[in-house]
Amino acid sequence: MANAARLGNRVDVGLLAGCVVLSLIMVVLKDEDREPIASGLRRSLVAPLVGLQRGAERWRNAWVSSEQYQTTIDSLSLRGANAQAMRSENDQLRKLVGLGSRLEWGFVPAEALHSTAQSEELVTTITLTAGSTAGVKRYSPVVAPEGIVGMIQTADPSMSIAILYTHPDFHASAMSADGAAFGIIYPHSAGVTRGDAYMLEMRGVPTKVTLKPGAAIYTAGLGGVFPRGITIGNVVQELKTSEVWTRTYLVRPAVTPSRINTVLILNAQRVTQGTGNVWGGAAVNADSATRRIAAAGDSIARQAAALEAQARAAVLDSVRRATIDSVRRSLGAFIPQTDTSRATARPTRDSLRPPPDTAKKRP
């Protein structure tokens, strides 16, 4: 073993010395003499090293190209995600602006700040960037273009906290689109999976009323917290309960809490005066149509009464004129024509002269 090691060391030293000598010779030689020797060495002794070098360069170029390609892909993916997020945010802002233009007054816009905690399984509260300084008060309704979101729980000067419809303390009066069914909306949390955690229940619906799947549910405006006509969601199915005189329905909400970025907070005056037909509630439409029909009927009745009064006045005027003409004709038959002519004749100059003195002409 020792002899083999010594032999190997001697061979290595000899190769090193030979390489040094060849290097010195190549340095001393002229360019035209050096190139043929270098080409022969590259094709013979140094060929394996040249192959390794070329392979290393190819792998390095491939790795650099792969890194550049991956960087480009990541940049494009990030831009695509940002563009999608911006598009979604712009859509929500346009919807919010449209909702604000329909409401026209009585609201405070606010941005929703989501929690970054990953351990939170169910979102029940949300922080809003508007407080009591802007007119926000406790129990003020929080709405989105799609429908109901929740209500204010606490209001600081610049911030406020709202409970969502998933909070255990949330409840609101509800009705169907045609106003035939009324009930109370509660969060649906008993025996549900994570996917159904944001569902709602409409309890207390009379047994004689049946709601079909897909029926729209709106706030009923009872209780003084939420005005009438705000969209809540759609009926999914009827839930089996132990109640005999009432029904309970599972409702899918129209608003998804994770997609809420901006909201509107309604003030007390807007709640009192209502929101009209902003969310397109059929019951609100029916009420508006009823009012319009009643107003149209009153207008038609007033026009008919006015026309009747005009016709009556025209008849009375015609009768009065006919009576006056008849009286005048009757009176004119009893008055002599001479007297009338004398009475109406104007005095002349001869009639104004004194009569001649007949006494002087007597014999």
Is the pLDDT at 234 greater than 90? The verdict is yes
If you average pLDDT over residues 40-44, what whole number do you get?
Answer: 73
Q: What's the CATH number for 105-289?
A: 2.40.10.350
Q: For position 360, what pLDDT does the model report? A: 46
pLDDT of residue 118: 45
Prediction pTM value: 0.56
Band (pLDDT 50/70/90 cuts) for residue 68 is confident
Contact at 8 Å (CB) between 264 and 149? no
Q: Are strands 141-144 and 147-155 parallel, antiparallel or unpaired?
A: antiparallel
Cβ contacts of residue 256 below 8 Å, gap of 6+? 198
Q: Span 37-45, mean pLDDT?
A: 72
Residue scoring higher pLDDT (318 or 234): 234
Burial grade of 19 (CB within 10 A; 0-12, 13-18, 19 or more): exposed
- DSSP H or E segment with residue 83: helix 47-103
CA separation for the pair 120, 126 (Å, rounded): 12
Q: Which amino acid is at 306?
A: A
Mean pLDDT of 284-303: 54
Give the pLDDT confidence score for residue 325 in this predicted structure. 74
Which of 165-174, 204-213, 239-248, 331-340 comes out lowest in average pLDDT? 331-340
Three-state DSSP at 152 gives strand
Distance CA 230, CA 221 (A): 9
Amino acid at 142: V
Mean pLDDT over residues 167-172, rounded?
A: 91
Q: What is the pLDDT of residues 107-141, one digit of tens each?
A: 999 988 876 554 456 788 999 999 999 989 999 99
Cα–Cα distance measured from residue 28 to residue 35, given in angstroms and rounded to the nearest whole number: 13
Task: Give residue limits of the domains in the chain.
Answer: 2-79, 105-289
Over range 159-176, report the average pLDDT: 92
pLDDT at 265: 93
Give the integer Cα–Cα distance in Å for 162 and 150.
6
**Mean pLDDT across the chain, nearest whole number?**
77
> Is the CA virtual torsion 155, 101, 225, 195 positive or negative?
negative
Q: What's the pLDDT score for residue 298?
A: 58
Residue among 210, 209, 215, 203 nearest 248 (CA): 203
The lowest-confidence range among 97-101, 102-106, 141-145, 213-217 is 97-101
Local structure of residue 194 (DSSP, 8 states): G
Q: pLDDT tens for residues 240-286?
A: 888 888 999 999 999 988 788 889 999 988 888 888 888 876 455 44
